[in-house]
Copies of this chain bind each other. A is one copy, B any other.
Amino acid sequence: MYREKIKVLDCTVRDGGLINNHYFEDSFVREVYRAVSAAGVDYMEIGYKASKSILSPKEFGKWKFCEEDEVKKAIDGIESNTKLSVMVDIGRIEKDDILPCEDSVIDMIRVATYVKDMDKAIDLANEAANKGYESTVNIMAISKSLDNELDEALDQIEKECKAHTVFIVDSFGALYSESVTCLMEKYKKILKTKEIGMHAHNNQQLGYANTIQAIIDGANFVDGTVYGIGRAAGNCPLELLIGFLKNPKYDIRPILDVIPKELLPLREKIEWGYLLPYAITGMFNEHPREAMALRKTKEKDNYLKFYESLSATDID
């Protein structure tokens, strides 16, 4: 697939940080930055930006905060045309923590939000835009959004928000390709002046496939992570995405090189990828938190019991 407008964002450190509470070694972040830069990846999301007055630095690693000096240190001396991004969560950042863009090494701020928090998300995305950043709105848990509420949120973004891109975020890895197409149609219909992005999770081994589907349907901004690292089942593997895209600016080789050096050793220490409990939460369109909890118990491979525990929930 060749379409010049397509941009790729690596969120290895940002989404991967959800597994290890953002405690990555500097050397890891540096080698990932070196690899994605050499690979011609357009953006690297290097972590979250959060306020230390809201979240305690004792409880999270530095990539939850992405202070300027830390980011500068990690990328120092590495040749790169890759822009830097951070993600912000509603309620975990004060506006004053966002420096004017000209004083920051960060180029883009992505606002992660649920549909219900759209007012706050737009406010934050506009704050970032007003300070000179590129900004995006990433609508999480999209597979659980109600159709009318999503319509209204997208309409509001189109009318009020300065973000240049709005992401479909399949937080639960629950979408099949037909639903991706359906969401893309909705986004395209309402978001006349925005680009559309795709952030997929791999619970059902559809992270990459759904990303391709979104591209076919017109998405021009897509996320991947090296070796698919990311919370629970992880994300669309960047190496596959780069193998698929035909723009000659991309080079898969630095990604292939960094995987055995940095990702395989890390995978020995922390877990992500295709594991049945995550496939099951994906099938049920549920947050993986119960599966993540299960994986820390002796029952971690009792898939049948886990499946039945989700099936049996009494609801009315």
Q: Which residues of A contact B (CB under 8 A)?
A: 176-178, 202, 204-210, 212-213, 216, 237, 239-240, 243-244, 252-253, 256-257, 259-260, 264, 273-274, 276, 279-280, 283, 301-304, 307-308
Contact = CB atoms under 8 A, between A and B. Distances in A.
A201 to B, nearest CB: 13
Given A178-B216, A212-B177, A307-B256, A264 B301 contact: yes
B204 A205 contact: no
A44 to B, nearest CB: 20
Contact of A176 (B212, B252, B257, B280): B212
Contacts of A176: 212, 244
A177 B260 contact: no
Contacts of A273: 274
A224 to B, nearest CB: 12
Nearest to A203: B240
A208 B208 CA distance: 11
A136 to B, nearest CB: 25
Contacts of A304: 253, 256-257
| Top 6 A-B pairs, shortest CB-CB distance | A209-B209, A260-B301, A256-B303, A257-B304, A243-B283, A256-B304
A307 B208 CA distance: 20
Contact of A205 (B237, B253, B308): B237
A301 B258 CA distance: 11
Given A253-B307, A260-B303, A273-B274, 17 more contacts: A176-B212, A177-B177, A177-B216, A204-B240, A204-B243, A205-B208, A205-B237, A239-B279, A240-B279, A243-B279, A256-B303, A256-B304, A257-B303, A257-B304, A259-B303, A260-B302, A274-B274
B252 A205 contact: no
Contacts of A210: 209
11 contacts: A177-B177, A177-B212, A177-B216, A178-B216, A205-B207, A206-B209, A208-B209, A239-B279, A240-B279, A259-B303, A273-B274
